[in-house]
Amino acid sequence: MTVRSALVTLSVPIALALSAAPARAQAWLPPQGEGSVSFVFSDILANNHFFGKQAVDAGRVRSETLVGDVTYGLTDRIAISASIPVVASKYTGNNISPFAAPHPQPLYPGVNPLDDGSYHAELQDFRFGLRYNLVKGRGFAFTPFVGSIVPSHGYEIFAHAAPGRDLNELQLGASAAKVFETGLPGVFVQASYSYGIVQQVLDISHNRSTVSAEIGYFVTPRVRVIGLGGGQVTHGGIDASPELGFDPIRFPVHDQITRDDFLTVGAGVAYAMSEKIDLFGSVIHALAAEQRNSHQIDRGLTFGLTWSFSTKRGNNRAIASNEKALAKCVCEKGTK
């Protein structure tokens, strides 16, 4: 397998599907005038809740998310992307522990409409990205990026089944990727780091660092299997605790200000139906030992389709250079 044939089918489209995950940035960019449209469906089941590092049985949260994403190559080195997810979540209390109750908790009598055991669908946050391919060649790419998360509207955050955190965020980071032509032919690796500058709430800083890593293998030129890992560390924030429920100031915004750390592992497979259409799927699990606050993902399933396109500008360029696209890029978004 040559580097060119590998890159023609390489899109690494497996999502981390993490709650509170930032927009993912890929190292490979579409050529000038080319791009992709992707639709990604995720089904996430969160079982345990965490007060700091202490797991408690506080019911189940299940989220179904559909993300629409568009990526376009302005030049061979610059690409832009935009996406918006629709999130449908439901909370089911199990009445086993005193923590297994819908929001509101004791200070707020009554049942929150979002925690009534039914699914509630909501548009979440717009995500925009700009990537610049600083280094490429010999199957290697290094791509810094800048991105933003902007709430689509002022949605409810005080609920187990809230669709998101309703916070603005600026992201800075870089991705690197390598496709091996010799030594380990058919193997590719990719890693990404981002630092998110998050809108403060109650003057509490809770910026975050997020990392993701992938290692994959082209079983055939059309089929690739991928191992996944990813995590987040929050810089600041507070630990959740039972006592927080009696704080009328911080409790209503606790999902916005708690320190949310996690580590996930998983695996996926992708199939290139053609040069323009990719299908993919993955499964992930969050490690309880690395979880701090928030909900732990028991399992997250992701399925999606990517369609690559070329504009007249891209076709004219391809005819002039007699080259095909070296990469199909999918910038998949997390939820929450």
Give the tens place of pLDDT for each residue, 223-259: 999 999 999 999 999 998 888 878 889 988 989 999 9
Q: Counting Cβ atoms within 10 Å, is residue 211 exposed (0-12), middle (13-18) or buried (19+)?
A: middle
CB atoms within 10 A of CB 197: 15
The pLDDT value given to residue 111? 61
CB atoms within 10 A of CB 242: 12
- Ranges of the chain whose pLDDT falls below 50: 1-25, 106, 319-336
Q: Which residues make beta-bridge pairs with 39?
A: 68, 305
CATH fourth-level superfamily of 3-321: monomeric porin ompg (2.40.160.40)
Can you give the pTM of this predicted structure?
0.83
Looking up tokens 């979540």 gives 89
**Residues in contact with 286: Cβ distance below 8 Å, sequence separation at least 6, in sequence order:** 262, 263, 264, 296, 297, 298
Q: pLDDT tens digits for 256-309?
A: 999 999 999 999 999 999 989 999 999 999 999 899 988 889 999 999 999 999
The pLDDT value given to residue 248? 86
The H or E element spanning position 257 is: helix 254-257
The pLDDT value given to residue 94? 61
The pLDDT value given to residue 109? 56
The pLDDT value given to residue 311? 85
Give the span between the Cα atoms of 285 and 43, in whole angstroms.
Answer: 12
Give the span between the Cα atoms of 196 and 183, in whole angstroms.
Answer: 36
Residue 191 corresponds to which tokens in the numbers above? 């890693």
- DSSP category for residue 261: B
Give the span between the Cα atoms of 44 and 64, in whole angstroms.
Answer: 7
Give the span between the Cα atoms of 65 and 56, in whole angstroms.
Answer: 25
Residue 238 corresponds to which tokens in the numbers above? 């507070």
The pLDDT value given to residue 41? 96
Contact in structure between 260 and 297 (CB atoms under 8 Å)? no
